[in-house]
């Protein structure tokens, strides 16, 4: 279960990675229902990335897939082309959203935004690993 204690642990690990790469980030953690449990905007992180991080976490949980993988399948001619326009525009197809699993069951997700896609992904992976 992704409760506040788990969310804080996930965010702490993600913040550590963001500091190591020198990129302030927005980091969001959602529960199994896709509801926000916790969010951190590191000092100097982009304001515009607040909602993106939350929506990346929502997307990863809503579809139980990493947003970087969903991005591959949402290009023109692919099976999920146009998905980013669904769910009132909440669906993010940028790297940085990762489902959190307890065994095979998805119990939440992390979403990170504030850098290049590879940076967002690396920070999200660090947070997910702490779960």
DSSP string across 15-76: HHHHHHHT---EEEEEETTS-EEEEEE-TT--TTHHHHHHHHHHHHHHHTS-HHHHHHHTST
For residue range 68-111, what is the model confidence (pLDDT) as tens digits? 999 999 999 999 999 999 999 999 999 999 999 999 999 999 99
The answer to whether 25 touches 45, Cβ cutoff 8 Å, is yes
What number is the average pLDDT over the span 16-22? 98
Q: What is the pLDDT of residue 101?
A: 97
**Does the predicted model carry a pTM greater than 0.85?**
yes
The answer to whether 25 touches 112, Cβ cutoff 8 Å, is yes
Where are the chain's structural domains?
A: 4-130
Q: Would you say domain 4-130 falls under CATH 3.30.450.150?
A: yes
């Amino acid at each position: 279960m992704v409760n506040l204690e788990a969310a804080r642990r996930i965010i702490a690990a993600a913040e550590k990675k963001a500091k190591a790469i020198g990129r302030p980030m927005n980091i969001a953690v959602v529960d199994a229902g896709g509801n926000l449990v916790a969010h951190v905007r590191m000092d100097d992180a982009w304001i515009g990335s607040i909602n993106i991080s939350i929506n990346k976490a929502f997307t990863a949980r809503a579809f139980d897939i990493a947003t970087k993988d969903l991005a591959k399948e949402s290009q023109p001619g692919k099976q999920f082309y146009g998905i980013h326009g669904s769910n009132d525009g909440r669906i993010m197809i940028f790297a940085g959203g990762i489902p959190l699993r307890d065994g095979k069951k998805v119990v939440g997700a992390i979403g990170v935004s504030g850098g290049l896609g590879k940076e967002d992904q690396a920070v999200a992976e660090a947070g997910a690993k702490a779960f």
